[in-house]
Amino acid sequence: MLKIKKSVKRELILTEAAKLFKDRGYSGTSMRDLAGQVGMEAASMYNHIKSKDELLDTICFRISDTYISQLQDTAAQAIPYGEKIKALVQLHIRLMVEDSAAVSVANHDWKYLPEPRLTEFKQARKAYEKGFAALIEAGIAAGEFRPVNVSVALFTVLSAVRWVELWYRPGRGLTAEELESNIITVLLGGLEKP
């Protein structure tokens, strides 16, 4: 029971850290700020975490690991390449809608990771981009996609979903599902052959 309570408290600390890092930036957030947010003494927080760096590391790599795991699972499926790209776009949108603070931290504050984790995170990002690009390239080779520059297609898709983190809020007159459907229609309607 104590282990469960400790785990729950750690998750609360991680959730609130992501929110504060998103709002104030990693460097603009102190452990005292975080302690106040979760209703603990700063010294008590060290029973649950080692450091502010550990929080950043956990947040960034959870998001990165989720993307990479989904990429691997999707790439292995025997489905058309358009469906694979659609699944990855849906993942990006879903994560941004459901866990926007953590996604924002992974997108913006990763540069504060200490070495060697900074290099590992950069390598993970590159591996994800390379794997995503390989799916686009394979879709072109299979005749499912128009023959476009793979890098242009990759970064157009990734940047096209990135704005969701900044713009989407419940109450914008669009459900998360409608947002997802609209983005996929616009992105893949321009990528897939008629």
The pLDDT of residue 119 is 98
pLDDT mean over 109-123: 97
pLDDT mean over 80-105: 93
For the chain, give every domain's residue range: 1-49, 52-191
What is the average pLDDT value for the chain, to the nearest integer? 91
> To 10 degrees, the CA torsion angle through 177, 89, 18, 10?
90
pLDDT band at 3 (very low <50, low <70, confident <90, very high): low
Q: Please state the length of the chain.
A: 194
The pLDDT of residue 190 is 61
The pLDDT of residue 22 is 94
- Containing H/E element for 111? none
Tokens representing 76 are 């292995």
Choice between 36 and 172, residue whose per-residue pLDDT is larger: 36
Q: How far apart are CA 24 and CA 17, in angstroms?
A: 10
On whether the CB atoms of residues 113 and 53 are closer than 8 A, the answer is: yes
The pLDDT of residue 41 is 86
Q: How far apart are CA 140 and CA 134, in angstroms?
A: 10
Residue 39 dihedral angles phi and psi, to the nearest 5°: 75, 40
Residue 146 burial (CB count, 10 A): 13
The pLDDT of residue 180 is 87
pLDDT band at 34 (very low <50, low <70, confident <90, very high): very high
Helix (H, G, I), strand (E, B) or coil at 39: coil
The yes-or-no verdict on residue 171 having pLDDT over 90 is no
Q: For residue 83, how far is the Cα from the chain centroid? A: 20
Instruction: Give CATH for domain 52-191.
Output: 1.10.357.10
The yes-or-no verdict on residue 1 having pLDDT over 60 is no
pLDDT tens for residues 11-30?
999 999 999 999 999 999 99
pLDDT mean over 156-176: 84
pLDDT band at 131 (very low <50, low <70, confident <90, very high): very high
pLDDT band at 192 (very low <50, low <70, confident <90, very high): low
CATH architecture, domain defined by 1-49:
Orthogonal Bundle (1.10)
Residue type for 187, please? L
For residue 89, give every residue at least 6 positions away whose Cβ sits within 8 Å of its Cβ, in sequence order, or none: 157, 161, 180, 183, 184, 187, 188
